[in-house]
Amino acid sequence: MKLTSDEQDTLQGNHGEAARLAMAVIVDIGELFGAEELIPVSQAHIDTTIYMVDAGVEFVEKLCELGARFSIPTQLNPSAVDLQRPEKLRADGEILEKSRRLERAYLKMGAIPTWTCAPYQQGLVPMFGEQIAWGESNAIAFANSILGARTNRYADLMDICVAIIGKAPGFGLHLTRNRKAQLLVKLADIGSDRFRDKTLFPLLGFVFGELAGDRIGALEGMPKDVEVDDLKAFSAAAASSGAVGLFHIIGVTPEAQTREMAFQGEAPEKTLEITSQMIQNAEDRLRTTNGREADLISLGCPHYSAVQFSRLRDCFAGRKVHDSVSFWVNTSRSVYSWIENSGVLQELEQAGVTVFVDGCPLQYPKKNWNFTVAMSDSAKFANYCFSQTGLEVAFGSMADCVETAVYGKIIRRGLSWQQS
C-alpha cells in the first residue's frame, strides 16, 4: 500500500506509540484486502462498546494509557448495561465495572457518549457520499444504503484504530465500483398495498438478507413512500440474517433511483424472487415458543426513535401492562430526553413500561431476572434472542406486543394477507 510521508512517520512511531499501533493495524488490514492507499474518513462509530471479554477492555485501556485520542468525531454503540440506571436493570456487578472501565477510557479519548445503535436518527448523521468508518451491522447497512454514506463493515477494535488515525484503507464499499448491485430481488406476489402491514419490513429484510448473504442486492417493488423507521427495521433484519453491508431499494435508496443506477448500467448477475410464503416461513422461524405465555416484551432493537415512542403510547390507549409481564424499551439518551420533555415517557411509565438507555437488550445480564419467553417487533432481536439470551421468543408488530403485554398472553394477529 502506498503511504504518504506523514503516514510513514506515524507507522514508525514518530507520532507516538498509540498512533503507531493503530496505524500498524490499519496498514495490515489494508494490505490484506488489497487497498492501494489510505483515505480520510470524517467520523467513526465504535462498536467495541459491549463488554464481552477482558481483552477488549484491556486493548482500549492500553491505547488510552499510551495517550491515544480520537482524531475525528467519534460516537459509541450501546454498552452492555444502562449506565445511568444500572440498579433498575439489576446489572451484574462485574459487567457494570468492566462497562465503566470502557466508558472511562472512551471518554478520555474524546468519544461522544451517544451509546446508541441508531446513530443515524440523532447525532453525527453522515451525508450522501461521505466517507465514514462505522461498526454495528444495522448502522453500517443503514448508512451505506439509506443515507448513501460510505463505510466498510468495521470490526471491533479496527473501528477504534481508524478513529485514532482518521483514515481507513481504501477498499470495499468505500469505492464506487464496489457499490454496484449484483442481485436483482423481485417481489413475486407481494403488492405495494401489503406494505401497510409494518411487520412486512423486518420480515422482508430478514428474507432479503438470507438471499443476499454477502452480495449486494437490489430490491424491486417496495413503495416509495416508506417511513424511515420501517427502513431501519428492514436494514437491521437484513444485516442480521446475512452479511449485508449495502443494499439498494429501487426507487427508494439514493444510489438506486432506477434499476440502471443500482447496477451501474450493467445486467444483474442473478435474479431472485421473494414470495409471501417465504415471508410467512420467516415469521414461523422467528417464533421458537409453542406456548401462549410471554413474560418480557423487548422493543428497541435497534434503539427506538421518538416517533416509535409516540406510536407506542397510542397503542396503549390508557391501558396497562399485565402483572405477569415486564415491558422494556431500549433507546438512546437523546431520544429519552425528548420523550421525557414531551410527556410521552411519563405516560408510558404510567402504563407500566420501563425505558432503558445506553444498552443492548440482547446483552443485558438475564441471570438476575426469571424471564422465560420474550416477544419483540424486531426480526433482529427475534433472530438472536434464543442463542444469545436463552429465552424463547415470538415476533409480532408493535401493536401485538402491546396487546400481549395488556392481556398477558401472546397475541399475534398475523400478516394482513392471511386475513383477507
Q: Applying CB under 6 A, which residues contact ligand F3S?
A: 77-78, 117, 138, 236, 301-302, 330, 360-362, 380
Cell of 348: 408510558
Of the two residues 218 and 299, which places its CB atom closer to ligand F3S in the complex? 299
Of the two residues 231 and 360, which places its CB atom closer to ligand F3S in the complex? 360
Q: How far is the CB of 78 from ligand F3S (least distance, A)?
A: 5
Q: How far is the CB of 238 from ligand F3S (least distance, A)?
A: 12
Q: How far is the CB of 354 from ligand F3S (least distance, A)?
A: 15
Of the two residues 179 and 380, which places its CB atom closer to ligand F3S in the complex? 380
Q: What b/e sequence results for 271-302 when a residue is b if at least 16 CB atoms lie within 10 Å of its CB, and e otherwise?
A: eeebebebbeebbebbbbbeeebbbbbbbbbb
Q: How far is the CB of 359 from ligand F3S (least distance, A)?
A: 8
Radius of gyration of the chain (CA): 22
Q: How far is the CB of 138 from ligand F3S (least distance, A)?
A: 5
Let me know: does 105 contact 60? Beta carbons within 8 Å: yes
Of the two residues 51 and 171, which places its CB atom closer to ligand F3S in the complex? 51
Of the two residues 341 and 387, which places its CB atom closer to ligand F3S in the complex? 387
Of the two residues 236 and 278, which places its CB atom closer to ligand F3S in the complex? 236
Closest CA to 78 of 113, 52, 107, 121: 113
Cα–Cα distance between 144 and 248 in angstroms, integer? 9
The DSSP call for residue 217 is E
Q: How far is the CB of 376 from ligand F3S (least distance, A)?
A: 10
Beta partners for residue 218, in sequence order: 184, 248
Spell out the residues 6+ positions from residue 155 whose beta carbon is closer than 8 angstroms to its own: 47, 135
At 28, is the secondary structure helix, strand, or coil?
helix
Pairing of the two strands 38-40 and 167-169: antiparallel
